[in-house]
Amino acid sequence: MRPLRIAVTGAAGQIGYSLLFRIAAGDLAGERPVELRLLEVPGALKALEGVVMELNDCAFPLLAGVEVGSDADAVFDGVDLALLVGASPRKAGMQRSDLLQANGAIFAEQGRALSEVAADDVRVVVTGNPANTNALIAYRNAPGIPRERFSALTRLDHNRARAMVARRARLGVDEVEQLTIWGNHSSTQYPDLFNARINGISAARWLGDDAWLNFDFIPDVANRGAAVIAARGSSSAASAANATIEHARDWLLGTEPGTWTSMAVPSDGSYGVPEGLVSSFPVTCEGGDWSIVQGLALNAFGRSKLEASVEELKREADVVESLGLLGAG
């Protein structure tokens, strides 16, 4: 079988260091061989060479080839899947709008390059922050790629929330199902336990502790990234790589029947989220396509949380639009 061509940007970074080895070991594409195309800024290519040496030294049977470079048009040529991890880090004193501007230029350029040279059926996952709005910028600058092929990562939030609920309930993570992260991958996200299920009933009801849900669970999920930084001295990397792999694998190979996952995707207007904004929703995947789970009830609390997160997404979209980063797509 032809190897799946997977581009990874920011490949010499922290997440890259976990991600590449897991992909090469077969965690993303199963038994299908993979070819890695690694994009980095010129100053990081030497470090990336070292990572490639280590990849070679693992003698992964499924790794059919590795190419590196700093020219997006060359690296993305013919890729089937693009994992856009590389981004400009948030520096001290930087506002979110400064971060949007710094990253906007990167994602506009990468969207354009993918549109021109990637495989016709390419799928694009944005992990680099601010992930939702970076995905919006990328698809708006990629007129040759249907916008449904772009998504952003909220799977790490999903996994964090699921694990926290399982610990609280003293159950295995498998017993917590149908959890949803709604909205933005930011502190405004809404992890929904009302529609989540434990043993077939609402997880919020099963736990029966609204105080924990409001004052511990929701803030802890939203602030988990900061807690990891405080403890580890650097941001989540192995868990972010794991989430990126699970997101891409579910997209390409399908979600488990009977349940769903959380993915940030361009809205089709579902649940009142304005069309085109990249928001996290409950999704199922089949045959390489995602669809938003329809018909879930959001109570007044959930609706107000989702609306607040969507307001933030709108503000981010306004900022990048005013910076001329939304192209014509």
Residue from the set 28, 36, 87, 138 that interacts with ligand NAI by CB under 6 A: 87
Choices 13-21, 112-120, 192-200, 281-289; region in contact with ligand NAI by CB under 6 A:
13-21
Q: Of the listed pieces 61-69, 229-237, 272-280, 311-319, which binds ligand NAI according to CB under 6 A?
A: 229-237
Rule CB under 6 A: say whether 261 interacts with ligand NAI. no
Strand partners, 192: 180
- Residue 177 phi/psi, 5° resolution? -125, 165
In this complex, which beta carbon is closest to ligand NAI, that of residue 25 or of residue 41? Answer: 41
Token representation of residue 34: 């993979």
State how far the Cα of 251 lies from the Cα of 83, in Å rounded to an integer: 12
Q: Out of 122, 153, 273, 313, which residue is the one contacting ligand NAI (CB under 6 A)?
A: 153
Q: Least distance (Å) from ligand NAI to the CB of residue 12? A: 4
Nearer to ligand NAI, 53 or 211 (CB): 53
Residue with tokens 């304005």: 274
CB of 2 to ligand NAI, least distance (A): 25
Question: Any contact of residue 133 with ligand NAI (CB under 6 A)?
Answer: no
CB 179 within 8 A of CB 162: yes
Q: For this structure, is 185 an active site residue?
A: yes
Task: With CA atoms as reference, report the closest residue to 9 among 79, 92, 100, 101.
Answer: 79
Asked if residue 235 binds ligand NAI (CB under 6 A), the reply is yes
Number of chain positions touching ligand NAI (CB under 6 A): 28
Under the binding rule (CB under 6 A), the answer on residue 41 touching ligand NAI is yes
Is residue 27 within 8 Å of 249, Cβ to Cβ? yes
Asked whether position 161 contacts ligand NAI by CB under 6 A, the answer is no
The reply to whether 89 sits near ligand NAI by the rule CB under 6 A is: yes
CA distance 219 to 198: 21
Among 12, 250, 18, 44, which Cα is nearest to 151's? 250
279 belongs to the binding site for ligand NAI (CB under 6 A): no
Residue 7 binds ligand NAI, judged by CB under 6 A: no
282 to 78, 119, 259: CA distances (angstroms): 30, 27, 9
DSSP assignment letter at 326: S
Asked if residues 133 and 320 have their Cβ atoms less than 8 Å apart, the reply is yes
Residues annotated within a binding site: 10-16, 90, 96, 103, 110, 127-129, 160
User: Two tokens at 314?
Assistant: 């709108």
Residue of 29, 34, 39, 118 interacting with ligand NAI (CB under 6 A)? 39
Set 112, 149, 185, 224: catalytic member: 185
The residue to which tokens 């280590």 are assigned = 54
Task: Please state the closest distance from residue 233 (CB atom) to ligand NAI, in A.
Answer: 12
* Contact call for residue 86 and ligand NAI (CB under 6 A): yes
Closest to 71 in 3D by CA, of 6, 151, 3, 7: 7
Identity of the amino acid at 239: S
Contact call for residue 15 and ligand NAI (CB under 6 A) = yes
CA dist 111 and 88 (Å) reads 16
CB-based contact 329:142 (threshold 8 Å): yes
Shortest reach from residue 105's CB to ligand NAI, in Å: 8
Name the residue number minimizing CB distance to ligand NAI.
13
Which residues are known binding-site members for substrate? Answer: 90, 96, 129, 160
By the criterion CB under 6 A, which residues form the site for ligand NAI? 9-10, 12-16, 39-41, 44, 85-89, 106, 127-129, 131, 153, 156, 185, 235-237, 240
Q: Which residues belong to the active site?
A: 185
